[in-house]
Amino acid sequence: MGMVVGALLCREIEWLDGVARHMLTPAFIFTMLFFTFCRVDARRIRLSWMHAWLLLFQAAGCLAVYYALAPLDGVVAQGAMICILAPVAMAAVVIGGMLGANIETMAAYSLLCNVAVAFGAPFVLHAFGNGACTVWQILQKVAPLLVAPFVAGQMCRTFLPRVSGWVSDHSQISFYVWLMSLTVIIGRTTCFLLDHDEADRTVELALAGASLVICLLQFGIGRRIGRRYGDTVAGGQSLGQKNTVLAVWMSQSFLDPISSVAPTAYIVWQNFVNSYQIYRKDKETMSDDLAKRSAAVDTRNLNRK
């Protein structure tokens, strides 16, 4: 429903975002992460081999995909590459928490991955793009929205434990904030696709198709890696859910601008996957609740007998 509303009201959302000086998405991301990081105990954050394998896949995968597709179409190769190179989304910690992942594991990878991409992406973009990207440019995009809510959440846990407790008890609010953020992002995405019709439709379809395949592969491979280390959901979300806003910006700024169709389409694909996963999780929770109630009723009936 959020994606449909965003698509239908794209012009109104774009206007509202313009009035807010494009601060809606950063504000939503900060709020989501603050609610989530209030539940994170920084002392329990540990790096693991799972994080290393996920980063290795991103580094090797983006290069492998580029060289595999470059002989066919350079623009499609750039778009596919950026879908793998992009760091994990800020909201992945929120969605992972909803799905039962270890949020300390997700928080650790979110911090590690975004910093690693900030230092590594300029070399990749220099080699395959216009060569203008710097570490500082990417850090400016990711650091404030990643570090600030983490610090705020930890300070709240330390100095305002009652507030932190209330936030932790009402962490479901972050779901509705994510939903509003999704609506805004889909609205802006729809406007982008409507306003940029100068590209070859065949190339655009190839970019969208490549991003779909990569999206499903990354969620699947991430879940396999996560399963080996006891957290299937954390692995899937860490590798599959991307910071597509940053990916679109990198594509438009340092690659062929048409390649940004791939991360733009990735926004839609990853949120279909997220919606399906949340739906499945809700069904499992409801089934468990029904089973517990049924067992409780059976126990009461036996006691009466």
- pTM comes to 0.82
Nearest by Cα to 280 from 246, 242, 250, 236: 236
Bigger pLDDT: 222 vs 177? 222
- Give yes or no for a contact between 117 and 87, defined as CB atoms under 8 angstroms apart: yes
User: What is the mean pLDDT of the segment spanning 250-274?
Assistant: 88
Rounded to an integer, what is the distance from CA 303 to the centroid of its chain?
50
Model confidence at 199, pLDDT cuts 50, 70, 90, reads low
Model confidence at 284, pLDDT cuts 50, 70, 90, reads confident
Model confidence at 295, pLDDT cuts 50, 70, 90, reads low
| Confidence at residue 302, expressed as pLDDT on a 0 to 100 scale | 65
Q: How far apart are the first and last CA of the chain?
A: 49
* Most confident residue range from 206-220, 255-269, 284-298: 206-220
Classify 2-304 by CATH class. Answer: mainly alpha
